Amino acid sequence: MTTKLGRKGLAIAFSTAAIFALSACGSGDDAPKDDQGQSQEAGGEESNAEESQEFIDDLKEGVQIVQDQLDKEDSMTQIMLASDVDKPTQKYGMWVMPYYPSDAVEKYISTIQVEDGNFHVTATSAETGKVWEMDQDGNLTEAAED
């Protein structure tokens, strides 16, 4: 009888401890957070506090490179950003533009699709691992997960 009572007591004690441990190590879902995919002006006061200014500046630079090339040749449907070229080069029927992001960018999608003057530069933050897109107007949006 005392063995059964001892086992039940231990089970209750472990269960209670586990509940408290899980509560203390919770995911913090009660904390306020931004909606995923919320659009933010990168240059405005509402810049995303999660990402470094260096990362945002890298995205702005990519957008500016694409925009400058579209100002010269607006019929382009694809422009490639690449860190292995020194000057603008035409390859495979598209312009390949020099782009040297800082270490704040873990990786970026090099081929930019342009449709009716609209495009976005996509990059992964080295700091947070999140994927962000900046459109031609400088709006910063967290990319939707596939």
Q: Could you report the per-residue pLDDT of 6-48, keeping only the tens digit for each? A: 565 545 544 444 444 433 434 344 433 444 444 444 444 344 5
Q: Does the pTM exceed 0.85?
A: no
Strand-pairing partners, residue 90, are 95
Closest listed residue to residue 112, CA positions, set 132, 90, 97? 97
What three-state secondary structure class fits 122?
strand
Residue 98 belongs to a domain: yes
26 is written with which tokens? Answer: 């919770």
Residue 131 lies in a domain: yes
For the chain, what is the domain count?
A: 1
CA distances from 140 to 9, 43, 51, 97 (A): 55, 9, 11, 22
With respect to residue 31, please indicate whether it lies within any of the assigned structural domains. no
Q: Given pLDDT bands bounded at 50, 70 and 90, which one contains residue 127?
A: very high
User: What integer pLDDT is reported at residue 14 of this predicted model?
Assistant: 46
pLDDT tens sequence across 43-94:
443 445 589 999 999 999 999 999 999 999 988 999 999 999 999 999 888 9
Is residue 115 in a domain? yes
CA-closest candidate to residue 102, choices 77, 83, 119: 83
- The domain of 119 spans 43-142
